[in-house]
Chains A and B, each alone.
Chain A
Amino acid sequence: MNWRAVRTVTVLELRQRVRSTRWKVMLGIWAVVLFLLCAGIQGLATLGNIDPTESAPLLYELTLCFVLGIGLVIAPTLSATSINSDRADATLALLQATTLRASEIVFGKFVASWTAALAFLTIALPFLAFFTAAGQMSAATLLLHMLVMVATLGAVCAVGLGFSAATARPAASTVLTYLVVTTLVVGTPLMTALATLVAKGKQTIVRYEIDYDNSTEHHKVCKQEPEIYTYDVVHGDRIWWIVAANPFVMLGDISLRTTVDSDSSTGPALLDIIGGGINGMRDPVPSRVEYSCMTYTEEHYEDTRSRGTLHHHNAFWPFSLAFICLGGAGCLVLASRCLRTPARTLAKGTRVA
């Protein structure tokens, strides 16, 4: 791949789309919306006499989720039409008839749509940085959150390009791309909820109670016959991975591992709760638990000990990140294959020129 060639396509794409969609106006509106949102919430927090170090983490997370949500809506609009609408405008074949390789055209278009999506993120960055500072939160959290956002938006752009290369109509590729985004954001929690029906199991608790009648202060005596209970349980550790690729859950996983660790005075906020929830799901549920001669306090202690510390599971977000990046890369490869010349087979309903 030749970088000058990629740059040529990127510049062409940005000039054409950014000029025709009034991108700069949209960015301006976005900045105003963000400012109003942040100022509004900050104002409410001040009215409620909340200490800024306490309100800032929540504000940070609200803004972060808002930015990610809007980003996921915007990214497909840029990329999902960029190949098949060029085909409809009869401009794609002109590029294909030059010495540009298919991969250079696709990558150039990808960089253009990614850049445009990242412009939205860049405008949100000062707000997020401000809240990070105000809440005395760690910069590492912000950095890792940005990494996830950048990669997620890139992957969505790549998926959009893949669909726009494979389908004839811009409307079809847009719908398909939004379907993927919706599946990732809303579909994965729903699927996890459905999967709990399948991941059901039984847990037997065998408890040898203390025989208080025969025990002395120094010598505990257990009852010979245990009390046996059977409960319905959900094996969360078998299904938690379904939701792992959800970008919001990734953000939560990062929050959990950076905010709580860094001994901040603030309690866990929104994303920490999501991260902690997933972490808890990953605890194995044994089919049989035995308590022998324990007081309830000791039983509780035993439970906690067997689980270890609060987040004893390894971070999963790097794997989720790798997963969506691979998915995006796959889509780019697919798109390049669709644009290869001379074309052997054409996607249904498409023509070269």
Chain B
Amino acid sequence: MRQAIEVRHLLIRLGKAEIIGDLSLDIPQGSIVALLGPSGTGKTTLVKAVMGMNPIRSGSIRVFDKPVPSFAAVSEIGYMAQTDALYEDISALDNLLFFGNLSGVKGKAARERAVELLDFTDLLADRDKQVRKFSSGMKRRLSLAIALINDPKLLILDEPTVGIDPLLRRKFRDQFIRLKQKGCTIFMTTHVMDEAMSCDEVLLMRAGGIIANGSPDTLMRDSKSDNLEAAFLYYISLSERKALS
């Protein structure tokens, strides 16, 4: 299977602190992968590195076999950051059109795509409303819509469901599945176990490294846990034991 993301021996330092050390991973195309780990383990740093927004000290990242950083790689990715990152003074449609235009989607195509996505995220009725007046859920949906405006093959979501209600979270999951069905690869960070459960694969991350990976079922089975949280704790103690020995 072709890899959507290929990370090899990645080392990232921000200032003097080593955030990510010798990290390697593969995200297979067409899968939904969750990067699970507590806050401050370097999830966002890793994601940003894939986006080409963090300096790579050593190692390499490839997106659809294109080196990172490059415009070619960036063009394949739809990115949704932790923050909504919306222009609140302009309308939802204008936000979409703006990022669409920047991504090279232009004119009528851009508008059609924007309307399609607004429909997809259930915002069509509010398309001309100033984003300032949106609820946080609507903003989150719009943010997702923007991430999809360039019809990316890889969707990177940094904590997509932080601070949203269970109903919307359910809706998001449904949408991710629909995207996956269209052949989109989804790579998301989360610290919500529940969310990770619905993914094809989970990467357990701690202190700048991947301590375990596999499908939620495999991870739970291998750790003899009945939930992902317990499995996570198991792998943490395992990695600490490894480090000691």
Same complex origin of A and B: no
Q: Report B's interface with A, CB cutoff 8 A.
A: none
Q: Report A's interface with B, CB cutoff 8 A.
A: none
